[in-house]
Structure 1
Amino acid sequence: MTARLPILDLSRFDAGRAERDGFLADLRAAVRDVGFFYLSGHGIPDDLATAAWAEAHRFFDLPQGDKDAIDMVNSPHFRGYTRAGAERTRGQPDWREQLDVGTERFALPRTDDAPAWTRLPGPNQWPAAQPALRDALLAWQEAATAVAIRLLRAFALALGQAADAFDPIFAETPNQHLKIIRYPGRSPDDPAGAEGRGQGVGAHKDSGLLTLLLQDDQGGLQVETADGWVDAVPIPGTFIINAGELLELATDGYIRATVHRVVAPPAGAERTSIAFFLGARLDARMPLLTLPPELKAEARGLSSDPLNPLFRDIGANYMKGRLRSHPDVARRHYADLPEVAALPQAGGYA
């Protein structure tokens, strides 16, 4: 289907009272009705995007051995490289290779009584053959974080809250998560191709606060709407923005965390994207906002999946998702957790 997602210009947020109010009204409608929109006017310099794209392509062009040297299975912090077909959504392999990067932090000391999520902070893995990758991706991550925080403050105002309503759950130590992703073209000879599903990544919701997606000119992202699947066709100079389940949780469903998927490219083509996910602090608990009566009346309640329940304790929620998405990492580094024993051998829910 053709793109019908709204396009919002973030520069309107700082362009005077009338423009600001119009932007907030458009934002409120977008996040309630669709949960996805294009964002222009974000202000990130072109050179940061150019550097991130260039280094992402160089990474995927590295010899397979250089990428495998930083395989995610080596990291208890779920950082590093994943081969195409190794991560699964709804039990089916996602036909994409990717590098997961987070905030560069020291690992926390292990204690017997500490919750499992305290093992998640830690350093990234970087390829020795590509020293420029680190600076380019961390610079992009910081720029994307600043845009996401501006948007969260706009969300708060659009919902009748103080601009800093969400600040306590991300201040000082936000949960930053960046992926560079390559979707190879699918053919019957691909290891996952015999299933015939064309699944770049299966239908799912994002679990955090906000996602900022930079996509190349190869389409494939689709958004589930009341009218069916809508193609989020690439528009130069924009991000795709979508709300995550934490915002749905905070607003009793007023904000929609929308199901989406990526269809694998056809044989002979490939798709590259850079996805940034802003999450809450791992030690935070997601609040339930008190919405104005007219907005509360429009809240639809939560639409969470019974197979993937949502927790207000952020660390537990994030840990659950990481264990299910990467059972190989879970078994190597978290075998002491009871829930790991129940993970299916072939993968889990993402």
Structure 2
Amino acid sequence: MSISVIDIEPLVTGRAPGAVAAAIGEACRTGGFFYIAGHGVDEDLQDRLERLSREFFAQDTATKMKIRMRHGGRAWRGYFPVGGELTSGQPDRKEGLYFGAELPSDDRPLHGPNLFPSPEFRETVLAYLTALTGVGHALMRGIALSLDLGHDYFAERYTADPLILFRIFNYPPGGDEAWGVGEHTDYGLLTILKQDDNGGLQVKSQDRWIAADPIPSTFVCNIGDMLDRLTGGHYRSTPHRVIGTRDRDRLSWPFFFDPNFDADVRAVGQRVLAPHTRWDGADVHDFEGTYGDYLLAKVSKVFPQLNDQVHDR
């Protein structure tokens, strides 16, 4: 598998997107990962986000814990320290900040206001979420066209009010082959990833791991479990992992563009592909319920404390 670079400018501007949609479809069928150029996200905004992120993680733990996730309640926003998140039952070797769309207090889990370390951080993150949400809508138009559907197929059914989640992760340096995050797939429709110049992201292709090294002025995109489900397995969510760096911190900024929390996600047509063996032995096509049900079941394993808060009503 090779990871293609796709210029999505025609999707962003709405000019002759057919060839771009075909390229995205090919990438989704063959590997589930691709780079995007021509996305139009301001470089100065990205630089400011990176600077603020590095300044935040350089602080002492006590300062960072002032906005720890416990203070975010059921919205589940804020900071967690190294080892505070699990993948496949094992602690990840990373610390992070959790954000989402800035919303009023809401009884639903994963909805509500954010915890920001400073006013500048708030302004920058919210501007970045707005920009990446636009990119997410553009990509979903391309994916709809790649499936011979109307360009607004997903917007009409699932993403008019998408669930927007955003993470900033810092991987402290460690020894050779230090795990950052173990093998996993993402939960929703699309992940749009900004990463620094350290590398470390690896994508599984059959029995091999392929590096998805950073390319300047691009984002890495991958499809999640719900797009796998929607397409009846034609587009498959691909396992990936992160290897830590030896002698310096690694930062990444994954943005998740997901179906509405209350959406009942069903296949576009009849499933025609045989089930495939996943890293966790699960089958996303057997799931019954809303996207929120699926997401909470997954996230509660990553953060067991969230499970307690969700059910303690």
TM over 0.5: yes
Q: Describe the SS at the equivalent of 1:86.
A: coil
CA distance in 2, matches of 1:159, 1:307: 25
Contact 1:201-1:262 within 8 A present in 2 as well: yes
Counterpart in the other structure of 1:280: 259
Contact 1:254-1:300 within 8 A present in 2 as well: no
- Note if 1:133 corresponds to 2:121: yes
C-alpha change, 1:235 and 1:221, in structure 2 (3 Å) is same
| Structure 2: runs of 5+ lacking an equivalent | none
- Note if 1:322 corresponds to 2:310: no
CA distance in 1, matches of 2:145, 2:121: 36
CA distance in 1, matches of 2:302, 2:234: 27
Give the drift of 1:170: 4.0
CA distance in 2, matches of 1:15, 1:119: 35
CA distance in 1, matches of 2:96, 2:283: 23
CA distance in 1, matches of 2:110, 2:283: 20
Counterpart in the other structure of 1:191: none
User: Size of the alignment, in residue pairs?
Assistant: 308
Percent identity, please.
33
C-alpha change, 1:330 and 1:227, in structure 2 (3 Å) is closer
Give the drift of 1:218: 0.1
Give the drift of 1:228: 0.8
Counterpart in the other structure of 2:81: 83
C-alpha change, 1:307 and 1:27, in structure 2 (3 Å) is closer
CA distance in 1, matches of 2:227, 2:159: 16
Give the drift of 1:182: 0.6
The equivalences for 1:92-111 within 5 A come to: 92-109=90-107
| Alpha-carbon RMSD | 2.2
Give the drift of 1:179: 0.5
Q: Which has the larger radius of gyration?
A: 1
Counterpart in the other structure of 1:69: 66
C-alpha change, 1:67 and 1:51, in structure 2 (3 Å) is same
Q: Describe the SS at the equivalent of 1:8.
A: strand
CA distance in 2, matches of 1:301, 1:256: 11
The equivalences for 1:307-318 within 5 A come to: 310-318=287-295
CA distance in 2, matches of 1:173, 1:269: 38
Q: Describe the SS at the equivalent of 1:329.
A: helix
Give the drift of 1:89: 0.8
Counterpart in the other structure of 1:46: 43
C-alpha change, 1:172 and 1:33, in structure 2 (3 Å) is closer
Contact 1:201-1:261 within 8 A present in 2 as well: yes
- Note if 1:24 corresponds to 2:21: yes
Contact 1:252-1:301 within 8 A present in 2 as well: no
Give the drift of 1:167: 0.9
The equivalences for 1:164-175 within 5 A come to: 164-175=152-163
